[in-house]
Amino acid sequence: MPIPWLTVLSNVPWKDVISTAPKVAEGAKKLWKAVGKKSGVAENDGASNEPLASTENQTIATLDSRIHSLKADIAALNQAMYSSSELIKALAEQNTQLIRSIEIFRGRVLRLGLVTVLSLIIGLLALYRTFP
């Protein structure tokens, strides 16, 4: 059974959606700015659960390689988070534009419906006067 789209769209609280869309876009912009400022790599102070190597030099080398690996992982995660926040910002802006367009089209459809009803009334009156 097909969904009656007109019914679905008429039940959407468009005033609430339109009034909330700028807030969503602003929130996405704030998130994007906050993530953009945090471009540094954090240090890892946690200890390993694995047993230490037998010599001190081997232990230092192992820990050093783990630190470099963790820094690379953190940098990759920061980059992924930054890319995700850019995407969220773009989607929020597109959502705002889409909501504005839908509201414009809703107004046009309403006006077109009114013109159609007026045309029908005028046509029926013309037929009534033509054939009394």
pLDDT at 53: 44
| Higher pLDDT, residue 3 or 108 | 108
Average pLDDT over the chain reads 79
For 45, phi and psi rounded to 5 degrees? -105, 5
Distance from the first to the final alpha carbon of the chain: 44
The model's pTM: 0.49
Which of 44, 33, 23 has the alpha carbon at shortest distance from 86?
Answer: 33
- Whose structure tokens read 């190597």? 53
pLDDT at 41: 46
Judged against a pLDDT cut of 50, whether residue 1 lies above it is answered with: no
CB of 80 closer than 8 Å to CB of 39: no
Q: Tokens standing for 11?
A: 């039940």
Judged against a pLDDT cut of 90, whether residue 8 lies above it is answered with: no
CA distance 66 to 87: 31
- Whose structure tokens read 């992982």? 73
Domain map (residue ranges) of the chain: 15-32+53-106
Tell me the per-residue pLDDT of 46-102, one tens digit each, with 9 for 90 and over. Answer: 455 555 446 888 889 999 999 999 999 999 888 888 888 888 888 888 888 888 888
Helical (H) or strand (E) element with 112: helix 56-130
13 DSSP assignment: -
Judged against a pLDDT cut of 50, whether residue 21 lies above it is answered with: yes
